[in-house]
Every structure is written in structure tokens, then in C-alpha cells.
């Protein structure tokens, strides 16, 4: 009796197993009049890469060796594309570019087709976002640090721009600037950096920038902001004397270093012959007083005065606002003294200061020439300017200056 019951149990288990196998087979074939329908293997790990009015579908191919092509449908099967199956290695990736789309969201159905024409069940790639002009119009160039947009090294002229961290998938920001040789440069600011240095930047010129983005990670297209932005004006503010003026004083140095007597010539400064009224009209414009100073004086003090004497230096400045501070030392007698900034490479004569190429001018006499004077001027573009003194005196007069300072405002 026990043997009989065991046999019955075994028969029941076999019947259940056969029934289960039949149900599993129904997942892969369908019995119909005329035979069974075969469903080829399907793709796996289907996804997409976003693009500009296009998208790229990606998947791992089916390992079914009989598959010869894939057919893709979208727009409720109004549009389709068929591609050849080139391999059946599920470790590889198939990439299919779908062009000529409109901005929006799509669903794609991918079917596998074998060499007998059997069609697989569809695998869907849903919520595929396609980007275009609407997305691009909402992009803005990367923001800069409004509190400290740039840092300038006054002496070296090195400029560092400071940006804010990007708030979306920024790819790059292209920065254009002009150097001191009037050559333009394009630098790339990467998204993981918030600062960039402009080598040899020409002050007074504009800096522009333009940022590019991708809408999603792995996107096949980059979107660039249509508008080009201009960076805040970069100024070199502070004492820039050492950059532009040679031998600015405290003390003024002499050029005729082989001589040790009182009168000489100022190093790097130009002068006219009218200031050479000492030592037999061979020297003047500089003396050893104050350890070295610019010096105008009547011949041997009691002789003829200086007439339209000039000491000056020429240099080129970028556009900007400037001030030159001039420090007077000793003076005495009847003096017509003028501290002048003029456009070009020369100073006007003393009779033409108000009508010539004068940009800034301080006039002083024996009652007002003492102390520190400041000459302010503005340049709207790169310009060559000349700073210096235009002086006339009577007998028994002298006038000394100990330093000049150039400041950018």
C-alpha cells in the first residue's frame, strides 16, 4: 500500500512539472493554426543620450544569433527606422542616432527581427527628452563674483578673473581678451574652476565671455549661450609709477654719473637747451641738492633766469583715469612754474599752455608752487602722453622738485 501511494505522488509531481513547462513555453511561442510563432530575443539596458533636435538611442544587443535587424518606432508608429544587427555580443553597445526631431518628450519602441522574419516583443525607451531653442533661450553665461570680479597685481599687471560656481551642467566658458601687443586670445574656463588668469592683459580693453552647457549628462550636443557678455571693466587702481615713469625721484638720479659736481642732467628725462644755463651753459635741469632733484635756477643764481625751460618724460597709458602727484622742494624768487600733462611726445611752450595739447596743468608762482600738487586727467583710449615742467624765472631764483608719482584712479 505504501508503494502504491508513493507511485501516485510521483505521477502527480511529473504531471505538475510538465504543466509548468508548457506554461513557460507559452512565453516564447504561440500555438496557432499552421504552427507556432517564435519571438526573437530582445535588447537590454536600453537608454538614450540627449541632443539638439535629435537623440541617440543606446542598448546592449540580444545574444540571439538569428537576429538580423532592429526596427524602431516613435510618434505612435508614424515614424520608424530600421538598422542592421552587426553583432550579438550583449557586452557591446548599439548606438542609433534619430535626427530631425522637435523639442519635447518621446517614447521609442525597439523590436528585434530574426532571419525568418520573426518579430520580438517590443522594448520601450520612454521619457526621451529632446532639446532645442526653448532650452537654449533659458541659458545664461556663467556668473562672476560680484563682490570681487577681478584681482589686479598693480606692479606686474597680472589680472585674475573670479567666477561663481556654475549652477547647471556647464561644459566651458570661453574668455576673450586683448594683450599689450593688440593680439586677441581665447581662454577656456573649465566648470571645476572658479578663476582664471589673463597673461599680459591690456588695460582699457574689453573682456568678453560666453558659456556652453549640456542639458543632461552624456548628451551628444552642446548648447552655447547666444549672447556674448562683457566682463566688468578691469582697472589697475593704485600707484603705477614704476610701470611707466623712469627715475621718478626720491632721489632723482643723474645721467652723467662720471661727474660729481653739483650740476648735471636728469637720467631718463628729456630737456631743452634752455635749462642748460649752468657751468658755462653746459649743464642744468638737475643738481645734487636734496640728494638729487629736478632743479631750475638763474645762471649762477644772480644771472639771467631760465626762459621756457622744459624737463619732461613721455610714456603710453591705456584708457582710464589718472593722477600725477608732484612734490616741490626748495624755491625762491620770481617764478612762473608749470607742471603739465600733454598729449603726444612734447610739452607746449609756456605761452601756449592754455591752447596747446595740454591735458592737465598746475600753474604756480613764488606764492603757490610749494608743497604737493596733483594733476588729474582722463584718457578715453590708449594714448601717448608727456609729463614735465615748463618754467621761466627771473634772476635770483631757484626751483626744485623731489618726486613724481603716477596713480590709476
Q: Spell out the alpha helix ranges (H) of 204-299.
A: 241-244
3-state secondary structure of 159: strand
Instruction: Give the CATH number of domain 137-234.
Output: 2.60.40
Would you say the CATH fold of 137-234 matches that of 38-130?
yes
What are the beta bridge partners of residue 338?
A: 363, 390
Residue 5 pLDDT > 70, yes or no? Answer: no
At residue 14, the pLDDT reads 41
Each domain of the chain, given as residue ranges in start order, spans 38-130, 137-234, 242-408
Residue 345 pLDDT > 60, yes or no? Answer: yes
Segment 74-112, tens digit of pLDDT = 999 999 999 999 999 999 999 999 999 999 999 999 999
Q: Spell out the alpha helix ranges (H) of 45-189.
A: 133-137
At residue 379, the pLDDT reads 93
At residue 35, the pLDDT reads 55
% of residues, the chain, pLDDT over 90: 84
CA distance from start to end of the chain: 115
Task: Provide mean pLDDT across the span 265-272.
Answer: 98
Instruction: Give the CATH number of domain 38-130.
Output: 2.60.40.10
Task: Provide mean pLDDT across the span 229-241.
Answer: 93
Q: What average pLDDT does the structure give for the chain? A: 91
Task: Provide mean pLDDT across the span 211-235.
Answer: 96
Lowest mean pLDDT segment, chosen from 10-14, 133-137, 274-278, 306-310: 10-14
At residue 168, the pLDDT reads 78
CATH class of segment(s) 242-408: mainly beta
Which helix H or strand E contains 87, and what residues bound it?
Answer: none
Which helix H or strand E contains 27, and what residues bound it?
Answer: none
Task: Provide mean pLDDT across the span 3-19.
Answer: 42
Banded pLDDT at 155 (limits 50, 70, 90): confident
At residue 203, the pLDDT reads 87
- Contact status, residue 314 vs residue 386, Cβ threshold 8 Å: yes
At residue 204, the pLDDT reads 82
pTM of the model: 0.67
* Nearest alpha carbon to residue 125 among 142, 143, 144, 110: 110
Q: CB within 8 A of 340, min separation 6: which ones?
A: 347, 348, 353, 358, 360, 361, 362, 375, 386, 387, 388, 389, 390
| Largest CA-CA distance found in the chain, in angstroms, rounded | 155
**Cα–Cα distance, 1 to 7 (Å, whole number):** 10
Residue 311 pLDDT > 70, yes or no? Answer: yes
Amino acid at each position: 500500500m505504501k508503494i502504491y501511494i508513493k507511485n501516485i505522488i510521483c505521477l502527480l509531481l511529473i504531471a505538475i512539472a510538465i504543466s509548468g513547462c508548457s506554461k513557460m513555453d507559452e512565453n516564447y511561442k504561440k500555438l496557432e493554426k499552421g504552427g507556432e510563432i517564435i519571438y526573437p530575443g530582445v535588447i537590454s539596458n536600453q537608454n538614450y543620450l540627449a541632443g539638439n533636435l535629435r537623440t541617440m538611442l543606446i542598448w546592449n544587443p540580444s545574444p540571439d544569433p538569428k537576429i538580423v535587424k532592429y526596427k524602431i518606432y516613435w510618434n505612435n508608429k508614424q515614424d520608424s527606422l530600421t538598422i542592421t544587427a552587426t553583432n550579438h555580443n550583449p557586452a557591446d553597445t548599439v548606438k542609433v542616432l534619430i535626427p530631425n526631431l522637435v523639442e519635447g518628450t518621446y517614447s521609442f519602441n525597439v523590436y528585434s527581427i530574426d532571419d525568418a522574419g520573426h518579430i520580438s516583443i517590443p522594448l520601450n525607451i520612454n521619457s526621451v527628452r529632446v532639446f532645442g531653442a526653448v532650452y537654449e533661450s533659458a541659458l545664461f553665461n556663467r556668473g562672476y563674483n560680484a563682490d570681487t570680479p577681478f584681482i589686479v597685481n598693480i606692479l606686474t599687471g597680472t589680472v585674475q578673473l573670479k567666477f561663481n560656481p556654475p549652477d547647471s551642467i556647464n561644459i566651458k566658458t570661453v574668455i576673450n581678451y586683448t594683450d599689450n601687443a593688440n593680439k586677441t586670445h581665447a581662454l577656456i574656463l573649465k566648470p571645476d574652476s572658479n578663476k582664471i588668469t589673463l597673461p599680459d592683459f591690456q588695460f582699457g580693453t574689453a573682456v568678453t565671455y560666453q558659456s556652453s552647457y549640456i542639458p543632461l549628462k552624456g548628451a551628444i550636443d552642446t548648447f552655447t549661450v547666444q549672447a556674448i557678455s562683457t566682463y566688468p571693466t578691469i582697472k589697475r587702481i593704485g600707484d603705477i609709477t614704476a610701470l611707466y615713469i623712469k627715475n621718478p625721484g626720491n632721489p632723482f638720479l643723474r645721467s652723467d654719473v662720471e661727474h660729481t659736481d653739483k650740476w648735471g642732467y636728469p637720467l631718463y628725462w628729456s630737456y631743452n637747451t634752455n635749462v642748460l644755463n649752468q657751468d658755462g651753459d653746459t649743464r642744468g635741469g638737475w643738481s645734487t641738492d636734496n640728494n638729487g632733484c629736478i632743479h631750475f635756477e638763474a645762471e649762477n643764481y644772480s644771472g639771467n633766469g631760465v626762459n621756457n625751460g622744459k624737463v619732461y618724460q613721455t610714456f603710453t597709458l591705456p584708457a582710464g583715469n589718472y593722477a600725477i602727484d608732484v612734490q616741490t622742494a626748495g624755491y625762491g624768487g620770481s617764478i612762473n612754474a608749470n607742471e603739465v600733462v600733454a598729449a603726444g611726445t612734447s610739452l607746449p611752450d609756456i605761452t601756449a599752455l592754455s591752447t596747446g595739447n595740454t591735458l592737465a596743468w598746475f600753474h604756480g608762482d613764488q606764492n603757490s608752487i610749494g608743497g604737493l600738487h596733483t594733476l588729474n586727467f582722463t584718457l578715453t583710449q590708449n594714448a601717448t602722453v608727456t609729463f614735465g615742467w615748463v618754467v621761466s624765472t627771473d634772476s635770483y631764483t631757484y626751483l626744485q622738485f623731489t618726486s613724481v608719482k603716477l596713480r590709476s584712479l
